[in-house]
Amino acid sequence: MIPSSRTDDLAGRCLIVRLFLFCGILLGTSCARDNPSVPPAGSTSATPEQRQKSAALVQRGQQFLKDNLGEEAIRLLEEAHRLDPGSGEAALALAAAYRQEDRYAAAKQLLDEVLAGPSAPIAERVRAREALVEILLDTGDLKAARAACSPLPGEGEPSANARRLAGLVAYRWGDLPGALRELKEAVRLAPQESRAHAALGLAQLQSGDLPAAVASLEEAVRLDPDSQEAASSLAKAYERQGRKDEAAQARERYRGIYERKSVRQKVGPLRSRAMAAYEAGRLEEALAAFREVARLAPRDAQALAQSGSVLLALQRLDEAREALEQSLRIQPDNDFALTELARLHALKGDLPAAVELLNRATKANPSAAEPHYFLAGIYLALGKREDFEKEKAAYLRLRGPGDALRPLPDAGSP
Domain assignment present for residue 122? The answer is yes
Cα–Cα dist 413/16, whole Å: 17
Q: Is residue 149 part of a domain?
A: yes
User: In angstroms, rounded to a whole number, what is the distance separating the alpha carbons of residues 94 and 73?
Assistant: 8
User: Which CATH number covers residue 126?
Assistant: 1.25.40.10
Give phi and psi for 340, each to the nearest 5. -65, -40
Q: What is the pLDDT along the chain (414 residues), one digit of tens a residue?
A: 333 333 334 444 444 455 455 444 333 333 223 333 334 444 457 888 888 888 888 988 888 787 777 887 898 899 999 999 989 999 999 999 999 888 999 999 999 999 988 777 888 888 999 999 999 999 999 999 999 988 775 555 778 999 999 999 999 999 999 999 999 999 999 999 999 999 999 999 999 999 999 999 999 999 999 999 999 999 999 999 999 999 999 999 999 988 877 777 778 788 888 888 988 899 999 999 999 989 988 888 989 999 999 999 999 999 999 999 999 999 999 999 999 999 999 999 999 999 999 999 999 988 888 999 999 999 998 899 999 999 999 988 887 655 556 565 555 543
Is residue 132 one of the residues assigned to a domain? yes
Has residue 137 been placed in a domain? Answer: yes
Residue 218 placed within a domain? no
Number of structural domains (the chain) is 1
Neighbours of 248 (CB within 10 A): 13
Amino acid at 375: L
At residue 403, the pLDDT reads 56
Q: Is 222 domain-assigned?
A: no
Q: What is the pLDDT of residue 52?
A: 86
Is 32 within the bounds of a domain?
no
pLDDT score recorded for residue 34: 31
Residue 80 in contact with residue 92, Cβ under 8 Å?
Answer: no
Asked if the structure places residue 345 within a domain, the reply is: no
Q: Can you give the pLDDT at residue 66? A: 79
Identity (one letter) of the amino acid at 136? L
DSSP character at residue 255: H
Domain limits for position 147? 44-156
Instruction: Name the phi and psi angles at 345, rounded to 5.
Output: -60, -40
Q: What is the pLDDT of residue 37?
A: 38
Q: Reduce the DSSP state of residue 189 to 3 states and report it.
A: helix
Number of C-alpha atoms within 13 angstroms, CB side, residue 101? 23
C-alpha–C-alpha distance, residues 279 and 31, integer Å: 10
Are 148 and 136 contacting, i.e. CB atoms less than 8 angstroms apart? Answer: yes
Q: How far apart are CA 97 and CA 324, in angstroms?
A: 26
pLDDT at 259: 83
What gap in Å lies between CA 135 and CA 144, rounded to an integer?
10
- Provide the pLDDT for residue 284: 94
Separation between Cα atoms, residue 192 and residue 189, nearest integer Å = 9
Q: Are 233 and 194 in contact (CB under 8 A)?
A: no
Query: Hey, CA dihedral for 327, 331, 332, 334, is it positive or negative?
Result: negative
H helices of 297-334, where? 301-313, 317-330
Q: What is the DSSP letter of 67?
A: T
Q: Which amino acid is present at 326?
A: Q
Indicate left, alpha or beta for 155 from its phi (over 0: left) and psi (-120 to 50: alpha).
beta
11 vs 361: CA distance, rounded Å: 26
The pLDDT value recorded for residue 233 is 96
CB 54 within 8 A of CB 84: yes
